[in-house]
Homo-oligomer: A and B are copies of this chain.
Amino acid sequence: MKADAVRGHLDGLLLAVLEPGPLHGYAIITAVQRRSAGALELRTGTVYPALNRLERLGLLRSTWDSVGERRRRCYELTDAGRRALAEERTAWRAFTEAIGAVLNPADARPGHAS
């Protein structure tokens, strides 16, 4: 996977891994990596600023929680975040259909009764 590939789709990834429940930043990175079978390795310089931005936008809410002396910042989806996630999924579908239609015009697209 070439670097920079997630450009424009990062927000959706972050919102998606937070859908099942709250996670802290480091766990978000490993969750994305695990869910993508190792294909997507986000960097801290990518994730932490993005999480802050999403919180400023009201899509996430964060709380500090302590495990012993270690502090973790846990993020969870807000209602607006869930709506945004739904929009990201719709946009992703439109995006892949548009690019896919150009890249593979002869697609049989089975199961799609037009």
| A interface with B by C-beta (< 8 Å) | 1-2, 4-9, 12-13, 16-17, 32, 35-37, 39-40, 88-89, 91-92, 94-105
Contact B5 A102 (CB under 8 A): no
Q: How many copies does the complex hold?
A: 2
Interfacial chain B residues near A7, Cβ < 8 Å? 7-8
Contact B8 A103 (CB under 8 A): no
A-B contact pairs, 15 of them (CB 8 A): A1-B94, A1-B95, A4-B8, A5-B8, A7-B7, A7-B8, A16-B103, A16-B104, A16-B105, A17-B102, A32-B102, A36-B99, A36-B102, A92-B99, A92-B100
Interfacial chain B residues near A36, Cβ < 8 Å? 98-99, 101-102
